[in-house]
């Protein structure tokens, strides 16, 4: 829905009325704030509007991409305690829980912490490309969001670097039409507690909403507790009948302990054990944006300046065995997203031009640690020594162009092109010579290399071609080609792992400056339709990735370095179906079947994985939800959710396999009346032992253990 789709208003219409008709359009959910609750269809197969794939509201039936939408109603019913609770309902999406609210992601890629996904809030990247963090979703207040959109596959033609496997856009919740206040309190096992407050109001030409989320958990494993404090304010202001200003301020602080992987014996007999109680993470994220939109009958001007602050202090659990460290990374960003769109009468033609810019100065401070062990547990930090201290500034400037035309009424053609120019400016505050870590450190020795002061630049041209066709009122299809890329992050370019000699450390430091961007070519086609009362969606994709960036471990010296290598192929089919059996019963299901393979993968001449399947890449992922909404529950519901994760290889050599798992969850929601509501969730109802991730270390399986049966309940009061 565009502004010119809103019915004409009489001249005496107050600005507040205009605001209320268009505020949801700005948020990307044109009807979410005013529609009554409907029976849940978590993965919407034919929603009217999507905003993420084209950076403004557009019919999904005319969007040549696979887009899944989780509406605000779904978020409020599910009450997620972790991003996986929501996103794992989407076909082909696998989010793992890495303790607390940490996560790794799989969307058309194996499960990874690499920078192949783009996370947005109202279309604005939550982090700078140069300072990517795979846990970025925990910096967003998902339980109080206004919805989620997931665009699968490359999105670089509109968004630039990182949008390879998919783009996840969290939409802020629109302000209310009048005075409103919601208070929600939750309690659960393992010390779980959460307080959420949301409220707002509207006046003549301004509406606002404020959210607060305070969460605490003791954690189910030893020393695994976490706390988060998240708040946000959104203000929508009608400047004129055709122009709007949306301002969003959000802040998040997360403090959590880490739980590392465990061996087979502990997985079987002592899954609550934490081998890395000295590891932790402290995160601060602040964002401020002001989106100005002015629309006439045939044009739209959009300008969105934004500010960001991101900082993280961490003792990472995953490197305690080979490169123990404590580091702090911080960056502050100033950016702008700008766009002008012009519509033309012939053939419903449309031209969009835009320019994005990002300037993000930051720093990286790191101490190598000497750690102590008690048995298998890393129990103490004995000594430390500063080995990295540098300033680094990431900057980018990216013009883009997109055209759309309908030469035939049911046919919509789209073409886009974006040119990204990116640069790192690096200033080492330590000696250019390699520095040795603490004497007598575990592991013994260790040198850390430094690149000379200077800069490195990247550029990339990302094309996109697509078409949609409306076969009839109940069936439409699409086909697209897109190209994507990702630049190396600052840590991959300027930070090396521990080396055994000073000469090698500096040689590796210089080599990592020459890392090339990862590139991807993607072909995709799909159908979206309705047969009788059954909604369905089907997508097929074929994606080839080259110059992937990996951390390579030398099998002889165990030294690690970051290198470009290989070519991988990612192919799959995804389907979603919604079946309303009757007014009381409904089934929603999502399924993906994919194969991820190494096409050319020879590392330093020592290992050749060509033709092997990639590790942490299950072929089969399904999610099935059966929902009962009996009359006596006042539009409440009882939902059973079955999650199936297929088997996958633990290693690139395909010699060790995780068998997969099946989980059953139960969700209950009961609105007592318009003011009071009670609800409860039981995750892992059958209390199965399973792995969030499973890999291979020194030839032996390791596990990140999934949560046992967890229960929580809550009460919500609305005024």
What is the per-residue DSSP string for 330-398?
EEEEEEEEEEEEEEETGGGEEEEEEEEEEEEEEEEEEEEEEEEEETTEEEEEEEEEEEEEEEEEEEEEE
Contacts of 265 (CB under 8 A, 6+ apart): none
What is the arithmetic mean of pLDDT over 32-55?
51
Residue 17, pLDDT score: 39
Cα separation, 128 vs 356, whole angstroms: 12
Structural domain boundaries, residue 429: 3-718
Cα separation, 123 vs 133, whole angstroms: 18
Residue 33, pLDDT score: 30
Cα separation, 340 vs 401, whole angstroms: 10
Rg from Cα positions in the chain = 25
For residue 130, give both structure tokens.
């140069």
Of 64-78, 593-607, 623-637, least confident by mean pLDDT is 593-607
Residue 660, pLDDT score: 97
Distances (CA, A) of 333 to 94, 284, 321, 396, 711: 30, 14, 34, 11, 40
HSE-up of 644 (CA within 13 Å, CB side)? Answer: 12
What is the arithmetic mean of pLDDT over 197-210?
96
For residue 655, give both structure tokens.
């010699």
Distance of CA 168 to the CA centre of its chain: 5
pLDDT digits (tens, 9 = 90+) for 339-359: 999 999 999 999 999 999 999
DSSP bridge pairs for 231: 212, 251
HSE-up of 682 (CA within 13 Å, CB side)? Answer: 11
For residue 240, give both structure tokens.
């004129």
Of 27-41, 88-102, 111-125, 248-262, least confident by mean pLDDT is 27-41
Residue written as tokens 């046992």?
A: 708
For residue 360, give both structure tokens.
């993000």
For the CA atoms of 641, 646, 651, 652, the dihedral, rounded to the nearest 10 degrees, stands at: -120
Give the count of beta carbons closer than 10 Å to the beta carbon of residue 564: 15
What is the arithmetic mean of pLDDT over 550-562?
72
Residue 55, pLDDT score: 82
Going by pLDDT thresholds of 50, 70 and 90, the confidence category of residue 50 is confident
Distance of CA 215 to the CA centre of its chain: 20
Residue 220, pLDDT score: 94
Going by pLDDT thresholds of 50, 70 and 90, the confidence category of residue 445 is low
Buried b (16+ CB within 10 A) or exposed e, 586-607: bebbbbbbbebbbeebebeeee
DSSP bridge pairs for 531: 534
**Quick check: 365 and 330 in contact, CB under 8 A?**
no
Measured at the CA of 288, the angle between CA 283 and CA 289, to 5 degrees, comes to: 140
pLDDT digits (tens, 9 = 90+) for 275-325: 999 999 999 999 999 999 999 989 999 999 999 999 999 999 988 988 899
More confident residue, 636 or 27: 636
Residue 262, pLDDT score: 93
Cα separation, 680 vs 189, whole angstroms: 12
Cα separation, 695 vs 708, whole angstroms: 20
Going by pLDDT thresholds of 50, 70 and 90, the confidence category of residue 48 is low
More confident residue, 215 or 609: 215
pLDDT digits (tens, 9 = 90+) for 489-520: 898 899 988 888 888 888 888 888 888 999 99
Residue 35, pLDDT score: 32
For residue 275, the domain's CATH number is 2.40.170.20
Q: Residue 582, class by beta-carbon neighbours within 10 Å (0-12 exposed, 13-18 middle, 19+ buried)?
A: exposed
- 268: helix, strand or coil: helix
Phi and psi of 259, rounded to 5°?
Answer: -125, 125
Checking if the pLDDT of 657 tops 70, the result is yes
Residue 462, pLDDT score: 93
Residue 139, pLDDT score: 92
Going by pLDDT thresholds of 50, 70 and 90, the confidence category of residue 478 is very high
Going by pLDDT thresholds of 50, 70 and 90, the confidence category of residue 555 is low
- 502: helix, strand or coil: helix
Residue 37, pLDDT score: 34
Residue 161, pLDDT score: 84
632 DSSP assignment: G
pLDDT digits (tens, 9 = 90+) for 59-69: 889 999 999 99
What is the arithmetic mean of pLDDT over 466-478?
96
One-character DSSP codes across 4-52: GGSPP--TT--HHHHHHHHHHHHHT-TTTTTSPP----SS-SS-SEE-T
What is the arithmetic mean of pLDDT over 535-557?
86
Cα separation, 436 vs 448, whole angstroms: 6
Cα separation, 145 vs 127, whole angstroms: 18
Cα separation, 45 vs 1, whole angstroms: 18
- 218: helix, strand or coil: coil
Distances (CA, A) of 511 to 185, 564, 620: 53, 11, 38
More confident residue, 559 or 623: 623
HSE-up of 2 (CA within 13 Å, CB side)? Answer: 18
Which helix (H) or strand (E) element contains residue 423?
strand 411-428
Closest CA to 568 of 510, 612, 507: 612
Which sign does the torsion angle of CA 433, 365, 315, 370 carry?
positive
Q: What percent of the chain has pLDDT over 70?
A: 92
Of 198-202, 334-338, 564-568, least confident by mean pLDDT is 564-568
Mean pLDDT (the chain, rounded) = 89
Residue 140, pLDDT score: 94
More confident residue, 20 or 488: 488
Going by pLDDT thresholds of 50, 70 and 90, the confidence category of residue 25 is very low
What is the arithmetic mean of pLDDT over 603-610?
74
pLDDT digits (tens, 9 = 90+) for 110-143: 999 888 899 999 999 999 988 988 888 989 999 9
Going by pLDDT thresholds of 50, 70 and 90, the confidence category of residue 558 is low
Number of folded domains that form the chain:
1
For residue 665, give both structure tokens.
């969850």
Going by pLDDT thresholds of 50, 70 and 90, the confidence category of residue 13 is very low
Cα separation, 160 vs 123, whole angstroms: 12
For residue 245, give both structure tokens.
């200003």
Cα separation, 515 vs 548, whole angstroms: 10
pLDDT digits (tens, 9 = 90+) for 383-426: 999 999 999 999 999 999 999 999 999 999 999 999 999 999 99
Going by pLDDT thresholds of 50, 70 and 90, the confidence category of residue 24 is very low
pLDDT digits (tens, 9 = 90+) for 177-200: 999 999 999 999 999 999 999 999
One-character DSSP codes across 227-254: EEEEEEEEEEEE-SSSEEEEEEEEEEEE
């Amino acid at each position: 829905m565009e502004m010119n789709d809103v019915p004409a208003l009489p001249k005496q219409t107050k600005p507040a009325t205009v605001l209320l008709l268009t505020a949801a359009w700005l948020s990307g959910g044109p009807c979410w704030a005013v529609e009554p609750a409907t029976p849940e269809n978590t993965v919407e197969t034919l929603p009217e509007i999507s905003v993420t794939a084209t950076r403004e509201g557009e019919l999904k039936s005319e969007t040549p991409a696979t887009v899944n939408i989780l509406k605000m109603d779904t978020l409020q019913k599910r009450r997620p305690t972790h991003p996986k609770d929501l996103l794992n309902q989407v076909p082909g999406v696998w989010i793992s829980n890495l303790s607390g609210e940490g996560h790794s992601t799989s969307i058309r890629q194996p499960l990874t912490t690499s920078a192949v996904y783009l996370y947005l809030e109202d279309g604005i990247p939550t982090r700078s490309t140069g300072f990517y963090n795979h846990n970025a979703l925990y910096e967003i207040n998902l339980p109080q969001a206004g919805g989620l959109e997931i665009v699968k596959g490359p999105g670089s033609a509109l968004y630039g670097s990182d949008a390879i496997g998919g783009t996840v856009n969290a939409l802020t919740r629109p302000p209310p039409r009048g005075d409103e206040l919601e208070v929600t309190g939750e309690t659960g096992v393992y010390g779980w507690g959460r307080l959420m407050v949301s409220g707002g109001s509207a006046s003549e030409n301004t509406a606002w909403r404020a959210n607060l989320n305070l969460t605490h958990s003791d954690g189910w494993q030893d020393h695994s507790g976490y706390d988060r404090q998240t708040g946000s304010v959104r203000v929508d202001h009608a400047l004129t009948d055709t122009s709007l200003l949306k301002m969003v301020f959000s802040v998040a602080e997360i403090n959590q302990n880490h739980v590392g992987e465990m061996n087979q014996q502990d997985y079987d007999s002592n899954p609550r054990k934490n081998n890395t109680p000295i590891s932790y993470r402290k995160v601060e994220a602040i964002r401020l944006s002001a989106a100005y939109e002015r629309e006439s009958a045939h044009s739209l001007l959009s300008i969105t300046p934004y500010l960001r602050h991101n900082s993280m202090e961490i003792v990472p659990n995953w490197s305690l065995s080979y490169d123990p460290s404590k580091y702090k990374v911080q960056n502050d960003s100033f950016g702008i997203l700008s766009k002008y769109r012009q519509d033309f009468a012939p053939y419903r033609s449309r031209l969009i031009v835009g320019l994005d810019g990002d300037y993000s100065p930051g720093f990286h401070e790191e101490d190598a640690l000497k750690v102590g062990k008690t048995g298998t547990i890393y129990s103490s930090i004995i000594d430390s020594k500063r080995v990295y201290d540098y300033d680094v500034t990431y900057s980018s400037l990216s013009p883009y162009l997109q055209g759309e035309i309908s030469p035939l009424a049911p046919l919509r053609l789209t073409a886009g092109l974006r040119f990204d120019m990116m640069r790192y400016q690096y200033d080492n505050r330590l000696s250019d010579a390699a520095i040795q870590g603490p004497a007598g450190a575990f592991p013994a020795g260790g040198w850390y290399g430094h690149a000379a002061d200077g800069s490195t630049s990247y550029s990339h041209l990302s094309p996109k071609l697509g078409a949609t066709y409306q076969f009839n009122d109940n069936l439409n299809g699409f086909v697209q080609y897109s190209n994507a890329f990702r630049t190396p992050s600052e840590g991959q370019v300027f930070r090396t792992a521990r080396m055994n000699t000073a000469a090698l450390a500096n040689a590796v430091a210089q080599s990592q400056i020459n890392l090339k961007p990862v590139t991807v070519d993607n072909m995709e086609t799909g159908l979206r339709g309705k047969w009788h009362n059954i909604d369905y969606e089907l997508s097929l994709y074929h994606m080839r990735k080259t110059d992937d960036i990996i951390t390579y471990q030398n099998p002889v010296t165990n030294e690690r370095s970051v290198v470009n290598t290989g070519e991988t192929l990612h192919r799959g089919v995804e389907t979603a179906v919604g079946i309303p059996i009757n007014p009381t019963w409904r089934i929603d299901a999502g399924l993906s079947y994919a194969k991820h393979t190494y096409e050319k993968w020879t590392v330093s001449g020592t290992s050749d994985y060509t033709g092997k399947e990639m590790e942490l890449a299950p072929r089969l992922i399904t999610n099935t939800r059966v929902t009962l909404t009996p009359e006596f529950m006042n539009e409440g519901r009882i939902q059973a959710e079955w999650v199936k994760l297929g088997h996958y290889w633990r290693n690139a050599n395909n010699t060790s396999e995780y068998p997969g798992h099946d989980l059953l969850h139960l969700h209950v929601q009961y609105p007592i009346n318009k003011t009071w509501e009670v609800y409860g969730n039981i995750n892992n109802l059958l209390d199965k032992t399973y792995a969030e991730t499973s890999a291979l270390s020194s030839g032996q399986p390791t596990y990140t253990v999934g949560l046992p049966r967890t229960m929580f309940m809550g009460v919500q009061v609305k005024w």
